[in-house]
A and B are shown apart, each in its own frame.
Chain A
């Protein structure tokens, strides 16, 4: 395999890392039945706070922790408004999307475009020596290694442990979970905060590693929405969500590679539209209506397989309230 290809694959993985972390976080939140729509703003605000905290303390770890706290706090506002005050989660989430982004711009105004700490890639010993996989997956920053742990850890948690079963239950059948003695609303608070803290970590992954620094308008604006779409595309399953994030980052990198080649003449500005077209197309693919239509066209042997592959059902109780009376 030539070096250029390996480098491209490596950059796809590093570009996908914040998307993976954020969308796994949102998956955990939505699996508990809560929608945190504020991702785009949350990521921006936690990126700013993470960068400034790391700059002020001289420690990247402090930056990461600060960013995670911010992400968790924003998520907790949504949980408080949605669960305790019975307000619409989407409305509160949308307001927080705008508010957090403006807050980041206002509070971070004196920290724009200044050099700061950056977490560089650190090859994992042994693993990075593996052929192909080594240079692609194990010559990355700490965030990428954390994201691998998150992908497998969240799958194991959700589908192989008892508390994970309760986690899914409060998102699917809260009444049943409650009848079995699960404290639905307490756990919803907990998983919203956990998911939010991962969204915050994704913000730090941008401002301390992938797109290091802070600027207005923020470099990562829009990616929160893409992470939300990836959760749907991924059918709320950690592996498929991660696959979605890598596919997305891959197509994005591919678009820039095509643009750079001399025989293609596409204006750079149009290229900025690619992620958004992709977003519409991916959501279209997994929507139940288009799956049904696809079934009429596809040959019978692949029908079942492709239906199972594309199916994406939200947690049954997503966005609903639960009143333990």
Chain B
């Protein structure tokens, strides 16, 4: 009996991976391409040499930062779809410092990163206030703020920050070297400082969620906001602090894109990494320990697929297709698992990173919460 359930558990873990690979293979055949060559190209695109691998790590750094931030907001029961815009705002604030301050690198870089954190946090706070005070659900507020962040960055690129040789909507002029994060080596172009930041953030998030009062309050708010409020948890403050924390991390992620990956500000600078972070967190079911691992797999798929366009004239959106099917199949097998295993066992897992059976009400009536505070 025990063996059978163990086999079932393993089967249900492998099933989504297999299914998504099979579906992706069929889709590649459907567009008349060779699946083996595609997978080989993706693998080589990610792991061929240290240069390719550095590309993967450069996706992994912002993706992990976003995922860790989103774990905080999901813990508080919030769907922070606005993470893309928070990244973009972080990038904009960092770019402002990079373009206007003339300081030595050891001073300028920290200033840029702190500004990026402020930018991301402000944009997140906006979504948070819209949610808690004004009753606009964070999904809709987030989507709108994402689009507005892009409008702001495109406006800056094509207007005030355009290169001296004339207006373009492509990018700002390249930042001075002092404003950029230095790479580890020419062979392996990755920022050591960013790796250290990711490590520190990872530990901080894991410890904060496990062992602090703040983490406990976030969990209480996420599980049942009304009961938490009755038990004396300041749920509104708790939700806003989760938004701010996630915004700061997304801001750092955004600054990495401009201060290292590109070296200037471009439109759509977040490049879908924030949304990908949401997928990562859904896949790891909000377990912070697994986030860097899954983020690495996703970064490898993303980095590897960049090669498809050049090598095979295939659209790189294949990465999104594979990642999307992985998460969809994982969610579906989660449901299957709950149906196949005895209730006691099924309940011990947190299936999705938020309140199960939560009512999705596009408008949360905030009146009770507000009254309780006033």
Contacts and interface: CB of A to CB of B under 8 A. Distances in A.
Contacts of B136: 280, 283-284, 287
Contact of B363 (A88, A95, A103, A286): A286
Which residue among B169, B317, B320 has the maximum number of chain A CB atoms within 10 Å of its CB?
A: B317
B31 A107 contact: yes
Contact of A232 (B325, B334, B363): B363
Which residue among B139, B144, B147, B319 has the maximum number of chain A CB atoms within 10 Å of its CB?
A: B144
Nearest to A104: B317
Contact of B324 (A91, A95, A109, A110): A95
A288 B135 contact: yes
Interface residues of A, number: 58
A132 interface: no
Interface of A: 35, 37, 77, 80-81, 84-92, 94-96, 98-99, 101-103, 105-107, 109-110, 216, 222, 225, 228-229, 231-232, 267, 269-270, 272-273, 275-277, 279-280, 283-284, 286-290, 292, 312, 314, 318-321
Q: Name the prevailing secondary structure of the A interface residues.
A: helix
Contacts of B137: 283
Given A106-B315, A109-B314, A314-B363, A280 B130 contact: yes
Interface stretch (B6-14, B150-158, B236-244): B150-158
Contacts of A272: 147, 151, 154
B231 to A, nearest CB: 23
Measured as residues with beta carbon below 8 angstroms from the partner, the interface class of chain B is 35 or more
Contact of B321 (A37, A102, A280, A319): A102
A284 B335 contact: no
B331 A95 contact: yes
Nearest to A105: B317
B320 A95 contact: no
Given A228-B140, A314-B361, A320-B359, A107 B354 contact: no
Given A81-B332, A287-B134, A270 B155 contact: yes
B352 A88 contact: yes
12 contacts: A37-B139, A81-B335, A85-B339, A88-B358, A96-B324, A98-B320, A105-B315, A216-B315, A228-B140, A276-B147, A279-B140, A318-B362
A133 to B, nearest CB: 33
Contact of B365 (A105, A106, A229, A289): A289
B332 A87 contact: yes
Given A35-B360, A91-B352, A314-B362, A284 B134 contact: yes
Contacts of A319: 358-361
